[in-house]
A = this chain, B = another copy of it.
């Protein structure tokens, strides 16, 4: 599946992007970052912002995420049964806002292409699913939906298993985020209206 629907961008260096063991995957979302959801089905792709996500289980790792019924992302998610979570960083704040404020479905009506093309977002191939992964992010989770029709319909809530996970090893390794020296790669935590926090001081408590 590499190539199709993907920008002609080089795959980032394997020395930087490292697999995250399944039992550590929850730690990519544990501190509450806003994420970008990427989807693909047949020749259609899309990307949207989603602040409402959380880990749901350790191993096999699962997540829960809220995806509104009216989104194009949801249409492609439900058609493919898969999606990717991309964890964006500080330098991508403008992208997150643009992607969150626009509809892939509306863009399609106005011009050919998709949000990746419209906003010039380079991507690379996922390992297990069709959805493209967004370059410049700091973590990626490839997800397969566990169908729960009642939750999807009633609460716009999707449950998914994380079937592969990766992180930029400059800021995540050995199951831990470490942003010191990489301010531009700090994760984004949306409050509202394009206003974000990035992680600041790290605290380590001693038990007892």
Residues of A within 8 A of B (CB): 27, 30-33, 51-57, 62, 64, 66, 90, 93-94, 96-98, 101, 148, 150-151, 155-157, 159, 175-177, 183, 186, 188-192, 194-207
Contact = CB atoms under 8 A, between A and B. Distances in A.
A151 B124 CA distance: 34
B31 A197 contact: yes
B159 A155 contact: yes
A139 to B, nearest CB: 13
A22 to B, nearest CB: 15
Closest 3 A-B residue pairs measured CB to CB? A32-B32, A200-B200, A197-B199
17 contacts: A27-B191, A31-B32, A31-B189, A31-B196, A32-B33, A51-B55, A53-B54, A56-B66, A93-B205, A97-B207, A101-B207, A150-B150, A186-B201, A194-B206, A195-B202, A196-B204, A200-B201
Contact of A66 (B32, B54, B203): B54
Nearest to A97: B205
Contacts of A52: 30, 54-56
A58 B183 CA distance: 32
A188 B207 CA distance: 16
A109 B183 CA distance: 47
Nearest to A189: B31
A112 to B, nearest CB: 22
Given A31-B189, A32-B33, A197 B202 contact: yes
A189 B28 CA distance: 12
